[in-house]
Structure 1
């Protein structure tokens, strides 16, 4: 990722932080609407899970300038998700829900350049998670 793309992701995420609760609601509402089969992978009470989502996003976004430091945590997340029943196919739905949430939360600030930077960020991190999950399953 280029420094410009990293800056776009980090700057736009700072705009999401004040509406983190709403953003998490939008994310999970969209995920469960488009991929209802994943709902059973989550607890009935989503409050803690929504907090974890925002926390992990913050760690990932803030760590983009030092990927080597966050890769072990991202790999661990991928391995844990495999244990929860997440499949590599689910990552596309999660990425789409993330971009939807950002679009809703950022409004006009969600420009095509910001969207592309987030899509690249998600693809990078999801790729690390999937590889770790597949390696753990092998």
Structure 2
């Protein structure tokens, strides 16, 4: 990612961090619309899951600022989600749910440029997660 894009993305961090709980709520609302079959995986009370989402979001935001922690965040996400056998469809829809949540929560506080950069970053993370999951699930020779 271009350093100017990283700087532009970072400029949205304070707002995102301040509203991370709302962002988690909106993410899961969108996720369950796109993938209603996954809602049953969370049970009746998934407040802990929302907390984990908010914590991972914070960790990923810091990862953008410190490129050394982003691979660790990706590894953590892969480890947690590997048991769900997520495929390209699920990753794409989850990425759309994250982006929709950002747009819901930030609205006009998210500039057009930031929106483009976030879309690119989210898509990239989903592709990396899918590639990492495929590697972990591939038969070992």
Q: Which position in structure 1 is the counterpart of 2:6?
A: 6
Q: Distance in 2 between matches of 1:58 and 1:7?
A: 16
Instruction: Calculate the TM-score normalised by the size of structure 2.
Output: 0.86
Q: Give the CA deviation at 1:60.
A: 1.1
Q: What RMSD in Å do the two structures reach over aligned CA positions?
A: 1.7
> Taking CA–CA contacts closer than 8 Å with sequence separation of 6 or more, which of the two structures ends up with the larger relative contact order?
1
Q: Distance in 1 between matches of 2:107 and 2:77?
A: 29
Structure 2: runs of 5 or more not aligned: none
1:131 equivalent in alignment to 2:103: no
Q: Which position in structure 2 is the counterpart of 1:42?
A: 42
Is contact 1:23-1:101 (8 Å) kept? yes
CA offset digits 1:80-120 (Å, max 9, x no partner): 31213433321111111111111111111222211111111
Q: How many residue pairs end up in the alignment? A: 138
SS, match of residue 116 in structure 2: helix
Is contact 1:79-1:132 (8 Å) kept? no
Off by >6 Å, runs of 4+ in structure 1: none
Q: Which position in structure 2 is the counterpart of 1:121?
A: 121
Q: Which position in structure 2 is the counterpart of 1:90?
A: 90
Q: Which position in structure 1 is the counterpart of 2:15?
A: 15
Structure 1: runs of 5 or more not aligned: none
Q: Summarize the Cα distance change of 1:110–1:43 in structure 2 as closer, same or farther, 3 Å threshold.
A: same
Q: Distance in 2 between matches of 1:52 and 1:106?
A: 20
Is contact 2:82-2:133 (8 Å) kept? yes
